[in-house]
Structure 1
Amino acid sequence: MNRTPLPHPGAPAAHALTAPKRRRTGRVVLTVLAVVVALAFLVPVLWLIASTFRSSTETFANSSSMNWHMLWPAHWTLENLRSAVDNGFLRNLANSVIVAAVTVVLGIAISAMAAFALAVVDFPGRRIVFGLVVLSFLVPFEAIAIPLAHTFSDWGLTNNFPALVLPGLGNGLAIFTLRQFFLGIPPELAEAARVDGAGWPRIFLRIYLPLTRPALIGTGLVLFLFQWQAYLWPILVTTSDDKDVAPVAIAKTFAAFSSDYGRVFAETAVLAVIPAVILLGLQRYFVASVASTGSKN
């Protein structure tokens, strides 16, 4: 005769007590890992910022070992920033701001109209066009940069701002992001507007655009970062110093004055801080736009 042992009366209570402990332990471990990973990313950035405010002779003085002197200058100075300003970096920074701002404004307008057509308007070949849009951002830009630069040269689009701006317009990833967001809007809104006599332009401007602010801001961030960190394309289509954007100017500074690391670090820190501040202020919109890309077919 088989006898099934009775469970110990204290076992469920003990399990109930240990489960929260395991969850707390897991949270502590994840928190520690997150802090370690964050420090691994932050330490180089903090060292870069600290190097901006230390003299060139002290730049690598405490970099042989990990200590707090790496992240805190012994003698604070603004000479690196003054050197950057005196050598025209503000002009290059202004070029980057102009190119990025124009790309964001025009790029959002063009991408939003294309995304609206692909998401709402039923026309022949829509799936093929959407497939080409997806393919456009799967192909690395570096793979087509040189042939595209030859085309721009044949058209006379070199050494000017249109040459820097045009490749950022109609960005495939921007169109894809906005199209996915538009698909999340109930189609009944457009159908009701059509019944009331509204045309596609009015539906786009009065219904869809006001509902897609997070996606528009996220798309703007994508376009801004695309242009802000651009290096290869500006090198290919500009040769005059007065048209150089900030990344190109930094590269030329490093090549011409390889010993002036303080100035290079100062320019790099300024170039990195600006998008970081913008992204921190608008990150919730960026996350919302990214989250929407996988929600619809």
Structure 2
Amino acid sequence: MNALLHDVAHLGHVELLTPEPERSLWFFTDILGMTAAGAEGDSVYLRTYDDYEHHSLTLTAHRTSGIRTTGLRAAGQEALERRVLAIKDAGLGIGWIDGEPGRGPTYAFRDPDGHEMRLYWESQWYEAPEELRPALKNQPQAFPRHGVGVRRLDHINYLAAEAAASGAFVRDALGARVTEQIMLDTGRISAQWLHFANKSYDLVYTDDWSGASGRLHHIAFATNAREDILRAADICLDNGVFIETGPHKHAIQQTFFLYVYEPGGNRIELCNPLTRLILAPDWRTITWTEAERAKGQAWGLKTISSFHTHGTPPLSPA
């Protein structure tokens, strides 16, 4: 058991690539209810209504789908400097870059699988314009009048050639802790769920069955309640958004979920994990076996086969 360092505060933002920028933008704004906070070049900056920062999703037009970068906010300037030293010691640093809109100096690096990440501290708090001003002063933005009304960017699930190696890096260099994991009969750790604070998980690594590196399994947005997941399924059904699986409940982490593909091909999870927190300072990692996972999800739904094969960017034909 390793203790949380609390040098990384939370998952801040994701840059998602799409070959269908107009249709993907429609999905995130009209279907999920996110708000555009600005645009630059081929990118649009999007926010959920409960983001205290400028944005949590950068949607960038590209020749293919996938994830380009992940932003993590440090807990302070000294915490940022400590983690940068640890990343450099691990030999995975890229260097300092200018931050995205609303963010200050940012340190870019990669995990062992090649996913690019960025760590920052300085952040400009969002101030809603008059038309988006909430009634309650402890909420950054008014609740959306349309779509699902997602509350926050919740977590990322990366595909990796070796999930355990990247999980160990996030644990040792960034100060996270493994809350749950899957161990195969061979002893190989095939997936790990890691958190930085009281949320039960922020980053997930899953073995890519293809053996490829640097791909995305999904990004997830949290809703206010389970009922929002059910409503989201109807909204997606009525608007021709492909539903891969759900609504249902995961056994691991007990998250209530719906998985869909946005028009660019990236898998998006709508989830409701808000009631599950890790408060124990001496939390002991939960390890699931192959036999336990073969039982399927919490209420017996078998894991759909595409869950193990679909990732972005798509693999080139052999």
Same topology, TM > 0.5:
no
TM-score normalised by the chain length of structure 1: 0.25
| Greater per-residue helix proportion | 1
Pick 1 or 2: higher relative contact order, CA cutoff 8 A, min separation 6.
Answer: 1
What is the TM-score of this pair, normalised by structure 2?
0.24
